[in-house]
Amino acid sequence: MLLAFLDYFRATLRRQTDGLDATQLHTRLEPSTLTLGVLLKHLALVECYWATHVLAGGEMGEPWASADWGADPDWEMTTAVDDPPGELRRLFDTETGAADTIYRRVIREGGLDTLAARERHGAHPSLRWILVHLVEEYARHCGHADLIRESIDGAVDP
């Protein structure tokens, strides 16, 4: 059920970005700096961080590994404007696919109560906690995406 809700929100974000060109994907709804492109890149990072880094204990690959997070803690958000739509969508799909592989393996091998390899806020979260957190994060950002998309071309997600 948690994976189904996560998939639903991932699909919602994909729908909100469908058919948009670079200008539209990088359009802001003032005064916020969020764009649909920013949301794609941010949620790609979130997926990689929680699945690969926290849950599996691995190192994050590119483009995350070489980013200067010390100089810009919001690097994925500030650099999204430089990325073409196809690259943003590919990054999002790659990271969600990799995360799904990890989530399904962990469920198969140990279940939802399997603890993450790395601590976060002083504790090792369970996969169940991570998935609930991701559903919450996606729900919030899909609300942002609804407003941004409607401001661009009037499209609303049913």
Q: Examine the pLDDT at 158 and tell me if it is beyond 70.
A: no
Residue 28 CA to residue 37 CA, distance in Å, equals: 10
Summary mean pLDDT of the chain:
96
- Residue 156: pLDDT band by 50, 70, 90 thresholds? confident
Task: List the structure tokens of 90.
Answer: 């590919």
- What are the tens digits of pLDDT across the range 66-104? 999 999 999 999 999 999 999 999 999 999 999 999 999
The correct CATH number of 2-153 out of 3.90.1150.10, 1.20.120.450, 3.30.70.270, 3.40.50.150 is 1.20.120.450
Considering only 39-48, 99-108, 149-158, which range has the smallest mean pLDDT? 149-158
